[in-house]
Amino acid sequence: MTGDSFISLIFGLQTWGLVLAIICLNEPRLGRFIKLTAARIYKVYANYSPIEYLSDDCLTPVSLRCLKRVAKKTLVLDMDETLITAWIQRQGDHRHSPPNVPHDFKFGISTAICKGDVYVYKRPHVDRFLNNVSRWYNLVVFTCGTEDYASPILDFLDKGRGILDKRFYRQHTIDVGGLRAKYISLCSPDMANILLLDNSSIACSFNAGNCIPISSYRIGQKDEALLELLPFLDALRFTRDVRSVLGKCTRFDCLTTLLESVAK
């Protein structure tokens, strides 16, 4: 491509961009359509990854014998900003519009606290993640959300497979100095064989030695955090005590700091 051709191409793209911008300003509905179309294309890109993980357990006879010698473990999953992120359009609120990203699920909610529509956005690769870990672990969901809010979302993620049937909601949390504590010992008393996956450092603080922190999912961003955890979770199921590994991975001192600030 010659220099003149390249300049002509850039000029042409800028011209089309200017024309589209003018159309969007004068026709809001067309502008929203263009934004949503672009968002759909981006969503395909955000959910694509060259990383693949085996869908079947191709274990050697030695690995199978090792796995039989340890108890099957329980993986406790947080919901909001770990598996999904939700956006709520409150009834009568016309000042705010849903994000310009196609939602995966929508439902209405009507409680004493909130009335409106809930737009649910799945974290990229969450379906693949759940397919794998449901074969390796007993799954439990523990969310600080209310049952009216969380149940439809978990039903949507479960897709009738029965892998997310065991659920704990806000009413199962415990108030500790004004903080909603999720104690995973409520899900299983066997602390050697239970672990929590959560984006909240506070939730992890209450379960130090049994937790895996994960970054919060923001709507529309490219994210491979769940995919990257699969090899680690695959290996962790072979341990006799998850605390022997997780206790060395992370330290959470924020709980002490928070409780001291509350006490003051």
Among 57, 80, 93, 165, the one annotated catalytic: 80
> Quick check: 136 and 143 in contact, CB under 8 A?
no
Neighbours of 263 (CB within 10 A): 7
Neighbours of 21 (CB within 10 A): 11
Q: State how far Cα 84 lies from the chain centre.
A: 4
Beta bridge pairs of residue 196: 76, 211
Structure tokens at 75: 């993986």
- 78 counts as catalytic: yes
Among 78, 93, 127, 175, the one annotated catalytic: 78
DSSP element (H, E) containing 121:
strand 115-122
DSSP characters over 88-99:
EEETT--S----
Catalytic site residues?
78, 80
